[in-house]
Chain A
Amino acid sequence: MIDYTNILTQKIQDVQPSGIRKFFDVAATMKDAISLGVGEPDFVTPWAIREAGIYSLEKGRTYYTANAGLMELREEICNYNKRKYNIEYDPKSEVLVTVGGSEAIDLLVRCIVNPGDEVLVPEPSFVCYKPCTQMAGGTAVPIETFEKDGFRLLPEQLKAHITDKTKLLILPFPNNPTGGVMSREDLEAIAEVLRGTDIMVLSDEIYGELRYDNEGHTPFSAIDGMRERTIIVNGFSKTFAMTGWRLGYALGPAEIIKAMTKLHQYGIMSSPTTSQFAAIEALRSCDKDVENMRNEYNYRRRFIVDGFRNMGLSCFEPLGAFYVFPCIKSLGMTSEEFANKLLMEEKVAVVPGNAFGDSGEGFIRCSYAYSIDSIDEALKRIARFVEKYRK
């Protein structure tokens, strides 16, 4: 009998499974459960995009593409970023089309993190940065962000965590799960700390198009002097409601993209061809669809924040992504207790904040990628629950 603990590497055994999943395995078996847990749009991919994918199949475009992605798509990605954010990248050497933004994150970490290197991760944040770092032999160093600071990364916090081992800073803004964003001014202050160092930056901007304040999103590479150290990770999942198409991209200096492409070529070959053809259409002609979806999220965002505040809970106003991160500390429960009890007693599934790092303890994440009706019903149930346990 094989003892698989001797087979599996120590690294993968040290990686913790995500805290998000276990709740939803339970919730999925419950009748009448309402979930505010899913981190993907409830919209279907706009028809024009689906149609472009179907058309590519009809035309028999079922081959591999170039490793870095279809040139036509890479050109459109560059055009889009120039048009939206006024940043310029060379489609031939500075773009890599990946299987979702997640692959780009994994590739970059594996390409630049040596054993012993430190990766700075503002938390609470998306769950993949730490495991990717562990698998590369690096050490993820969390930097706690606070509700009082709008869950932003402050320059003095960054400075305090930099050591001579620091290799990479993750900038996960707009943030999942907090909805926190960084203004241009905030980014300038971060850039000031980084100038003169060799610290690289992975700017995970997957929610960049889902900003609800007037300022809009600023890519980190648009900040003076930051382009040479920044790899932007972006994708189609959130902006164009294309999660299942599995398509993302990285923009960065040619040398880095070249290394990432090398790894991508051995592990993946090329991203799904049908998805790439569909994505060209998304970038060319779907601004209006994105605007409509953003408006809809914005209505729900205000609705859900208002709902939590009316319950007397402290609720930071998220300015990006599609999550709200209310504080439940006043109820004297841990995040997991809250989420468990809420699921059992009121059949509402939310994600405990500690799934996004220790600093998420005392918070819960609720997605508002749901219809107003679902949100309304969930809020009523949560309000009843909060009233019952209020001290």
Chain B
Amino acid sequence: MVGSILDILKKSDKKLTNEQIAQMIGSTEEEVAGIIRGLEKDNIIVGYKTMINWEKTDNELVTSIIELRVTPQRGEGFDRIAEKIHKYAQVKSLFLMSGSYDLCVIIEGQTMKDVALFVAQKLAPMDNVLSTATSFVLKKYKEDGMIFYNDEEDSRQVITL
């Protein structure tokens, strides 16, 4: 049941009510509410967020991906430096990577200059940061499983069956 609830929440593109979820998995509204509360408490459901296509608003945002090479610290590995980085509100995502660099930082800013200054003034000067490489996102096609430009509609035809 927990698996089904997570599956439904993960895939639904809008917030379903607990009653609807209960109907979908053959349970009761109370039971679903209880399970979801438990999942939230255990930090398995970490949060809920709204996906926004900023390009369609007046408030356009710039997204960039920054590859960081860093020196891990004795006894702490990459965790301490990662913590120092993710505390910045501009940092939307942070991942430890395998491969040619160590940390992948995803940043959102109002302008390219915002982002460039953040990298130059905050990230690059940090102790342990060896190098940065910044790439800007030009267009989002799909994010977290959501397609940004989806004009498909139900075009099934009338048919006998």
Contact of B161 among A28, A39, A42, A306 (CB under 8 A): A39
B10: min CB distance to chain A, Å: 11
Asked whether, in the complex, the Cβ of A307 is within 8 Å of the Cβ of B23, the reply is: yes
Query: Given the complex, which residues of B lie within 8 Å of A300, measured CB to CB?
Result: 24
Q: How many pairs of A and B residues are in contact by the CB < 8 Å rule?
A: 48
Residue-wise, chain B 76-98 has the 8 Å CB interface mask toward A (1 for contact) of: 00000000000000000000000
CB-based contact B25/A299 at 8 Å: yes
Find B23's partner among A21, A39, A303 (CB 8 Å cutoff).
A303
Q: How far is the CA of A306 from the CA of B24 in the complex (A)?
A: 8
Please measure, in the bound complex, the distance between the C-alpha atom of A307 and the C-alpha atom of B20, giving whole angstroms: 10
CA distance A38 to B159 in the complex (A): 7
The size bracket of the interface on A is 20 to 34
Cross-chain contact A306 with B159 (CB below 8 angstroms): no
| Given contact pairs A42-B154, A376-B20, A302 touches B160 in the complex (Cβ within 8 A) | no
Assess whether B99 is interfacial by the CB under 8 Å rule. Answer: no
In the complex, the answer to whether B152 meets A44 with C-beta atoms within 8 Å is: yes
Contact of A20 among B8, B14, B156, B161 (CB under 8 A): B161
A25 within 8 Å of B by Cβ?
Answer: yes
A-side interface residues toward B, CB under 8 Å?
18, 20-21, 24-25, 27-28, 38-40, 42, 44, 126-127, 176, 295-296, 299-300, 302-303, 306-307, 372-373, 376
Nearest Cβ in chain A — how far from B141, in angstroms? 14
Within 8 A of A (CB), among B2-19: 4, 7-8, 11-12, 14, 16
A303 touching B159 in the complex, CB below 8 Å, given contacts A42-B154, A295-B7, A372-B16 = no
Choose among B14, B16, B23, B154 the residue with the greatest number of A CB atoms under 10 Å from its CB.
Answer: B23
C-alpha gap A44/B8 in the complex (Å): 19
The answer to whether A40 touches B24, judged by C-beta atoms less than 8 angstroms apart, is no
Q: Give every chain B residue within 8 A of A302 (Cβ-Cβ).
A: 23-26
Q: Are B20 and A303 in contact (CB under 8 A)?
A: yes
Q: Which residue of B lies closest to A296 (CB)?
A: B11
Q: How far is the CB of B149 from chain A (nearest CB, A)?
A: 15
Given that A299-B25, A302-B23 are known contacts, is A42 also in contact with B160, CB under 8 Å in the complex? Answer: no
Q: How far is the CA of A21 from the CA of B157 in the complex (A)?
A: 11
A20: B residues at CB distance < 8 A: 160-161
B44 at the interface (CB under 8 A from A): no
- List 26 contacting pairs A-B, 8 Å CB cutoff, sorted by A: A20-B160, A20-B161, A21-B159, A24-B158, A25-B158, A27-B158, A28-B158, A38-B156, A39-B159, A40-B159, A40-B161, A42-B156, A44-B152, A126-B161, A127-B160, A127-B161, A295-B4, A295-B7, A299-B24, A300-B24, A302-B23, A302-B24, A303-B20, A306-B26, A372-B12, A372-B24
Which residue of chain A lies nearest to B12 when distances are taken between CB atoms in the complex?
Answer: A372
Instruction: List the A residue with the shortest CB-CB distance to B14.
Output: A373
Q: Give every chain B residue within 8 A of A299 (Cβ-Cβ).
A: 4, 8, 24-25
Tell me the nearest residue of chain A to B152, going by C-beta.
Answer: A44
Question: Nearest-CB distance from B95 to chain A (Å)?
Answer: 25
Chain A positions within 8 Å of B23 at CB level: 302-303, 306-307
A101 to B16, CA, bound (A): 37
**Which 9 pairs between the two chains have the least Cβ-Cβ distance?**
A299-B24, A18-B160, A24-B158, A306-B23, A39-B161, A303-B23, A303-B24, A38-B156, A302-B26
Knowing that A176-B161, A299-B24, A373-B14 touch, tell me 11 more A-B residue pairs with CB under 8 angstroms. Answer: A38-B156, A39-B161, A126-B161, A127-B160, A127-B161, A300-B24, A302-B23, A306-B26, A372-B16, A372-B24, A376-B20
